[in-house]
A and B are shown apart, each in its own frame.
Chain A
Amino acid sequence: MAMDMTGGAETSADTESNASAETTERGSLDAVLHGLRDIPQLPAHRRQPVVLFPQRERYFDVVSALDDAGCEMLADLCVVDYLLHPHGNLPERIVPERFEVVANLLFLGLGARFRVRVQVPESDPTIDSIYDIYPGSEAMEREAFDMFGIVFNGHPDMTRILMPDDWEGHPLRKDYGVGRVPVQFREAPGPR
């Protein structure tokens, strides 16, 4: 059932080709929220995560709608850089971009997971922060900024979290080499 629902969420937009992006997104989200009550009947191992692909502008509203539907927790938020590997499994309507922000949400009451995947272009690596909905995203969004350079609009403290403040570049980007900095301590002599 959950599998079917996942399919519905991704493909329903393709069938209504003449509708605007806004309404199709809304429609598929409604379908997902409508299907929530079926989830507890499923055996645990059949509960596949429901994947949603909102537009970047709609990301905050979609997460907000999931929150209103009772989703208690943001389990995880990370970014994937698709520079070297083009997306294989996006729905047709979604234009692939270099970065993808992946938010994993957790419904404690239903025992279900939701995954929200948003495309973020390289030319404008910004996205709304969901800090106002889930304050637990604070550290995760800072890590995403630190590692990928994605700026989360509305985040209260958009600074580096793991790397030093004066670090240049964003290490988990695919065009950031692995061995570019041989020694991280400036005083130490280099090899040879």
Chain B
Amino acid sequence: MTGTSEYTSSTSEGAQELGPRSSGSVKELRRERGAVLRGYSSSAEEIPAALETVTHYKAALPGEASSSGSTTPPESFDEGLEGETMIINMGPQHPSTHGVLRLMMELDGETILRTKPVIGYLHTGMEKTGEELMYVQGSTNVTRMDYLSPLNNELVFSLCTEELLGVELPARAVWIRMLMSELNRVSSHLMWMATNGMDLGSTSMMIYGFREREMVLGFFEKTTGLRMNHNYIRPGGVAADLPDGWEEDVELICDNVLRRTEEYDDLLTGQPIFRERTEGVGVITAEEALGLSVTGPILRSTGIPWDLRKTMPYLAYDQVEFDVLVGTYGDNFDRYAIRLNEIRESIRIIRQVIEKMPPGDYRVQDRKVTPPPRARIDESMEALIHHFKMFTEGFRVPEGEAYVAIESPRGELGCYIVSDGSAKPYRMHIRGPSFVNLQAVPVMLAGGLVADAVATTSSVDPVMGEVDR
């Protein structure tokens, strides 16, 4: 068969870009659309019927008509389309792309025909770096991927390492993790509310969103020492216990944010301009979302109640009460409403965590994984040696592989680690929800107006640090 060298040498600058209309065959395009439209329950016989509706999508090339069988010949309008369309770039430095996302769009007037996200501008090889770092250092690496929910990244890495280690965490560590994870969900969704408001022209929403997020980050700083990239959740537990008086701090955040979400309702939810710009825009169906592996608020906006916290519980999510929010239409407004209400559900969880927080250790008392307490180092030579070995050699993780997934604010955040029995992961793969969810952008944008592209891209909530890793 063909080797890889052929593929790499034939690529040149621009190969990743959106090709001209004539570069792909009709069969290819039909397959693409058909596969998306296939759905999880439809049978093969239904596909040709679905394809009939998209035949106008591309003019048939000479010689393709016979192979495509019963499909109708191209209409004259489509043949005339070739010269009329225009391919434009949005990004990679466009402010609405939340980083360095480049969208290549083919336009017919103001209507978007095709879109291709071009990514990789922020690629820093974090999976390769992860193979060079020990498990004790690993969480400093993964926390930088999704910089808006760093604690969730640390959490999935730690859970995966612990699954390989086979250690059981003390209850307090589990509940602290849950508290921090939910607070992070609140701050991440607030940040999304802010940027989404900005993208739709509501500058005040941006100021408000950042203001509330700052309160959560203030608590993170008090607990972990840093506002972002905390390295707080580590394999074996968390780095430190919660600070004294944390209940009051968190309660204050809950009260404030909850009251402010009422204000967001007044500002955006009921506002006619906001609704006009979001309702019925960027629609994706449940079949398309499932076929494209889309998870998180986008999948839930199509009406599928899939939330890993509920459906495949991890930590202690089966011991708290909360609702999974679903939409009906799968449009931008549904995704806005889901995120706004998920802030409220997260606060509901946080309040239960405050009530039920168990006493005890905040990290596992397993000498193999946990360094000795600081006080012991002053009085015991062995503890000093142990501490030194822990941070120079790390701990060894038994051979094997594990895939663990959690519900990050953006969807299923997965971590696949292969261990060869040493102190470093042999392979660490992160399944970034933003990376996969970006595949939904072309489907959401197709047939829409170019003016809505900004709003729709924003509603996917991509974090480019995680997309490119």
Contacts and interface: CB of A to CB of B under 8 A. Distances in A.
Interface of A: 44, 47, 49, 67, 70, 72-76, 78, 80-81, 84-85, 88-89, 102, 104, 108, 111, 113, 115, 124-126, 131-140, 143, 145, 147, 149, 151, 156, 158-172, 178
Interface in B82-126: 119-120, 123, 125
B399 A80 contact: no
Contact of B35 (A44, A72, A80, A131): A131
B292 interface: yes
Contacts of B427: 80-81
A49 B403 contact: yes
Contact of A156 (B8, B28, B401): B28
B293 A89 contact: no
Given A136-B294, A168-B8, 20 more contacts: A72-B290, A74-B293, A75-B293, A75-B414, A75-B431, A76-B431, A80-B418, A81-B427, A102-B416, A104-B416, A125-B4, A134-B291, A137-B293, A139-B435, A149-B7, A151-B4, A160-B15, A160-B120, A165-B12, A169-B8
B391 interface: no
B439 A139 contact: yes
A108 B293 CA distance: 11
Given A135-B35, A135-B36, A178-B128, A159 B11 contact: yes
A85 B417 CA distance: 14
Interface string B1-27: 111100110011111100000001000
Select the residue from B3, B4, B38, B420 with max chain A CB neighbours within 10 A: B4
B311 A111 contact: yes
A124 B1 contact: yes
B426 interface: yes
SS of A interface (majority): loop
**A-B residue pairs, 8 tightest by C-beta:** A136-B293, A149-B4, A85-B420, A162-B120, A76-B431, A135-B35, A78-B429, A162-B123
Select the residue from B35, B119, B293, B469 with max chain A CB neighbours within 10 A: B293
A158 to B, nearest CB: 7
B318 A126 contact: no
B291 A135 contact: yes
B199 interface: no
B126 to A, nearest CB: 11
Contact of B16 (A78, A113, A149, A165): A165
B13 to A, nearest CB: 6
Interface residues of B, number: 60
A165 B14 contact: yes
7 contacts: A72-B290, A78-B416, A104-B431, A115-B403, A133-B35, A135-B32, A143-B435
A75 B4 contact: no
Contacts of B304: 108
A91 B291 CA distance: 31
A126 B120 contact: no
Nearest to A147: B127
Given A44-B318, A161-B119, A162-B468, A88 B16 contact: no
Contact of A160 (B11, B35, B125): B11
A167 B429 CA distance: 21
B438 A165 contact: no
B120 A161 contact: yes
B438 A151 contact: no
B40 A88 contact: no
A137 B431 CA distance: 12
A160 B119 CA distance: 10
B426 A171 contact: no
A44 B120 contact: no
B306 A108 contact: yes
B293 to A, nearest CB: 3
Interface in B287-304: 290-295, 304
Contacts of A124: 1
Contacts of B290: 72-73, 108
A48 B435 CA distance: 26
Contacts of B8: 149, 167-169
B376 interface: no
B368 interface: no
B436 interface: yes
A89 B399 contact: yes
A107 B438 CA distance: 22
Contact of B32 (A73, A78, A156): A156
A151 B2 contact: yes
B361 interface: no
A113 B403 contact: yes
Nearest to A145: B7
B132 A76 contact: no
A99 B161 CA distance: 22
B54 interface: no
B48 interface: no
Contact of B7 (A47, A147, A158): A158
A38 B245 CA distance: 47
A74 B436 CA distance: 11
A166 B414 contact: no
Nearest to B2: A151
A71 B347 CA distance: 33
Contact of A89 (B120, B123, B128, B400): B400
B7 A132 contact: no
A73 B437 CA distance: 13
A161 B312 CA distance: 31
